[in-house]
Amino acid sequence: MKISIKSILIISICVLSSITVFSQEKNADLPPEATEFYEPVPPKIEAGESITTPPSDAKILFDGSDLSAWINERNGAQPTWTIEGNILTINPGTGGIKTKENFGDMQLHLEWRAPIEIKGEGQGRGNSGVIIMENYEVQILDSYENETYTNGQAASIYKQSPPLVNATKAPGKWNTYDIIFTAPKFNEDGMLLKPAKLTVLHNGVVVQNNFELRGPTEYTRIPNYSKHAEKLPIHIQDHGNPVSFRNIWVRELE
């Protein structure tokens, strides 16, 4: 068979252009549904009761008194979320809050409660989230008898890892999250050396077991790391629902 120079050129152009198309698509927006999975559904369990008080070496981020450890993530101002009877509630539409201080490797405890009055469904019901290092979201959602994609339900690592079980308590009841986080490591050139890792206990039950994150949380893209600071704020999301919080503390892990 005779292969002409012309045909070699045409083949080369085709191969090169397909490589270009592929590398462009890697970072292009996908329809949100492309990264949402519905099966298998994590089994529902009944978690035990847990009341937690912080250990003596914890840094208190919210103890019911004030939001002095936090700023509004949009404008840096004092947040206008509501505090009533030691409970903090999202003031929907005013923006998320983030810590003034930056954190890397950590043990983080927080308690959250979806509104008693059920409004909305799926992702629209009791949605918030704790976004570690402003990049890695552990989902907060009223996942009590509320179907949604499994990698977007409560205690999922949003759009990356569904929880091992669904330990969500009924609306109006308190949930605890105990999160152990290892920050990603990059070299000087920005290359990823070690991915971020997350272990999550939901109401005392392990739901994420040292999961290696594929990159920062994305809604419509494939996660992809890019170098960031060694420590960054903890962000609590305002997703438009009046989710409540109490007893937020962190221990830095060196």
- What dihedral do alpha carbons 238, 243, 247, 252 form, nearest 10°? -30
Select 32 or 64, whichever has its Cβ closest to Mg ion: 32
The answer to whether 184 and 194 have CB atoms below 8 angstroms apart is: yes
Sites for Mg ion among residues 219-248 (CB under 5 A): 237, 239
- Residue 126 touching Mg ion (CB under 5 A): no
Select 62 or 112, whichever has its Cβ closest to Mg ion: 112
Burial 104-130 (b: 16+ CB within 10 A, else e): bbbbbbbbbbbbeebeeeebebbbbbb
Least gap, CB of 132 to Mg ion (angstroms):
13
CA pair distance 168, 151, nearest whole angstrom? 14
Among 129, 162, 223, 233, binds Mg ion (CB under 5 A): 129
Residue with tokens 């003596």: 56
Window contacting Mg ion (CB under 5 A); options: 7-15, 104-112, 121-129, 174-182: 121-129
Beta carbons within 10 angstroms of residue 254's beta carbon: 4
Select 129 or 184, whichever has its Cβ closest to Mg ion: 129
Beta carbons within 10 angstroms of residue 224's beta carbon: 12
Select 237 or 247, whichever has its Cβ closest to Mg ion: 237
Select 141 or 201, whichever has its Cβ closest to Mg ion: 141
Q: Which residue number places its CB atom closest to Mg ion?
A: 129
Least gap, CB of 239 to Mg ion (angstroms):
5
